[in-house]
């Protein structure tokens, strides 16, 4: 199963089908930058867009989707709720505001963005949203703090997450969390699949990856994203550069050999970009109020 650009579709535990590759919109400013980036992605064949309330660009993302002329049911649209929107009596109302900002009647996927605050109360309301058709899938983002935090949600809910979003790239492959998710039939989506701009392109300069890229006449970014695809991960690389956006989706005309996959797997050193201690996350993210 693929999209028109041959992007594989990953089947979630509830039967929903998500394109394996999408455009991430973190760091894309509200207005022209996010609007034009999403339009460029959709014109290049992307059918999966990932945003969040905390990114403050949902209105531009939604406008680009509408202006693209592509039927809404052909685009997988993801957003994320911030901790100040968590809790029974709050989350469904926050979701309605999110739908209004995006200008859509439903979302394909909604994440709880961070593992702080009343996430159990929020999850109960997301379960309701799933049942009433406001969302097609529900998931958790950045709950890879430790087993206790992860299990405090997945072991207590009626509907387990269909998808789990974490930082993941060749230098931080997160094998433990992939195994945890696999046991529960939860798919994993990777943010910063190319290492993120905060890493200053370190992974893109890796000699092993660049040697493989030269063999295939591809860029380092394309090799890394192809590695994600062959590992079975969902990935949402972000960019505002139309050339890079097009480059990132042109990865389905070649394959990495088993040896090349093993060489990239061997680069793992669990070197993450996001290293904020959980106690600091709880303090900062609960105080940070994302406004409408």
Single out the residue of 61, 40, 39, 64 nearest to residue 50, CA to CA: 61
Strands 9-11 and 17-19: antiparallel
Find all residues with CB under 8 Å of 246, minimum gap 6, and list them.
40, 44
How far CA 264 is from CA of 17, 173, 231, in Å, comes to 28, 10, 11
DSSP E strands, the chain: 9-11, 17-19, 23-24, 48-50, 76-81, 109-112, 138-141, 163-167, 187-191, 234-235
User: Is 55 an active-site residue?
Assistant: yes
CA angle 168, 214, 47 (to 5 degrees): 45
Kind and range of the H or E run holding 214:
helix 207-216
Nearest-angstrom CA–CA distance, 130 and 127: 5
* Given 35, 46, 55, 86, the catalytic residue: 55
Give the strand pairing for 138-141 and 109-112: parallel
Cα distance between residue 33 and residue 13, in whole Å: 34
CA nearest to 13, candidates 183, 236, 227, 193 = 183
Pairing of strands 17-19, 234-235: unpaired
Q: Is 289 helix (H, G, I), strand (E, B) or coil?
A: coil
Name the residues annotated as catalytic. Answer: 55
């Amino acid at each position: 199963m693929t999209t028109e650009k041959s992007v594989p579709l990953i089947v979630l535990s509830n039967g929903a089908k998500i394109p394996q590759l999408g455009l991430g919109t973190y760091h894309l400013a509200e207005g022209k930058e996010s609007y034009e980036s999403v339009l460029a992605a959709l014109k290049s064949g992307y059918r999966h867009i990932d945003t969040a309330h905390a990114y403050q660009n949902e209105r531009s993302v939604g406008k680009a989707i509408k202006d693209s002329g592509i039927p809404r049911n052909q685009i997988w649209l993801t957003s994320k709720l911030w901790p100040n929107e968590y809790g029974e009596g709050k989350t469904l109302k926050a979701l309605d505001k999110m739908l209004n900002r995006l200008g859509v009647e439903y979302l394909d996927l909604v994440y709880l963005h961070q593992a702080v605050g009343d996430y159990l109360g929020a999850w109960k309301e997301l379960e309701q949203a799933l049942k009433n058709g406001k969302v097609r899938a529900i998931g958790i983002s950045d709950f890879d703090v430790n087993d206790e935090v992860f299990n405090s949600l997945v072991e207590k809910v009626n509907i387990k997450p269909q998808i789990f979003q974490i930082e993941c790239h060749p230098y931080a492959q997160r094998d433990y969390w992939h195994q945890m998710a696999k046991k529960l039939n939860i798919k994993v989506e990777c943010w910063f699949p190319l290492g993120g701009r905060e890493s200053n392109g370190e992974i893109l300069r890796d000699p092993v990856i660049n040697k493989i890229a030269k063999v295939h006449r591809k860029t380092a970014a394309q090799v890394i994203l192809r590695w994600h695809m062959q590992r079975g991960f969902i990935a949402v690389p972000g960019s505002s550069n139309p050339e890079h956006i097009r480059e990132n989706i042109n990865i389905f005309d070649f394959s990495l050999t088993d040896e090349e996959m093993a060489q990239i797997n061997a680069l793992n050193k669990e070197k993450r970009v996001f290293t904020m201690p959980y106690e600091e996350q709880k303090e900062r993210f609960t105080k940070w109020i994302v406004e409408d």
